[in-house]
Amino acid sequence: MSRIGQKPITVPEGVEISLNGQSIKAKGKLGELEQIVHDEVSVKLVDVANDEGQSVKVLEFSPKSNSRFSKQIWPTMRTLVSNIIVGVSEGYSKKLEIKGVGFRANLQGKVLVMSLGFSHEVRFDIPEGILIKVEKQTGIEVSGIDKQQVGQVAAEIRAFKPPEPYKGKGIRYADEFVLRKEGKKK
């Protein structure tokens, strides 16, 4: 039995959940997201009393059959639904740092313009549903309500100039450690 799949998801205050067959819609202060749960997983929206005796809505997941695939997809679906609930209530963000002499970024409307040591500026069109902030020209913060989309946009921006191992120049995640190599010796 999956430990992740067995954990029920407590719906936070201010988030509305609507369950329509295998489709779960979450609506919160930041927006609205929908997740379709696989047919091998059953979902129940239950009212449970918490420690103070108040009624709280809880989503419970369980596999429909005893098959191997059903047991594998069950915790995955629970995590994806948990991600949309956190997304509409709190949102997600990733921070990127730009290291290197003359490397910088700025916003021009809905376009992120970066100088990364190439002969031209790199332009990145910001997709719908993503908010990008540029702090002090060497810090980029990507935020939004969809965890997968925030991570994908951050990875695409990082891919323009990944950090190189000798001087560490390039775009990296704020919490990323770049393993440095020693240069050639004479």
Go through the domains of the chain in sequence order and give each one's CATH number.
3-89 (3.90.930.12), 92-172 (3.90.930.12)
Which residue, among 16, 9, 8, 58, has the nearest Cα to 34 in the 3D structure? 16
Query: Which residue shows structure tokens 């790199």?
Result: 122
Q: How confident is the model at residue 11, as a pLDDT?
A: 84
Q: What SS3 string covers 12-39? A: CCCCEEEEECCEEEEECCCCEEEEECCC
Q: How confident is the model at residue 1, as a pLDDT?
A: 72
pLDDT digits (tens, 9 = 90+) for 11-20: 888 888 888 8
pLDDT digits (tens, 9 = 90+) for 54-99: 778 888 888 888 888 888 888 888 899 899 888 888 889 999 988 8
Q: Are 139 and 171 in contact (CB under 8 A)?
A: no
Which residue, among 113, 115, 137, has the nearest Cα to 126 in the 3D structure? 113
Mean pLDDT over residues 134-157, rounded?
89
Mean pLDDT over residues 102-119, rounded?
86
In whole angstroms, give the CA distance from residue 181 to residue 168: 9
Percentage of residues in the chain with pLDDT exceeding 70? 100
In whole angstroms, give the CA distance from residue 85 to residue 19: 13
pLDDT digits (tens, 9 = 90+) for 113-139: 888 888 888 888 888 888 888 988 888
Q: Is the pLDDT of residue 176 over 80?
A: no
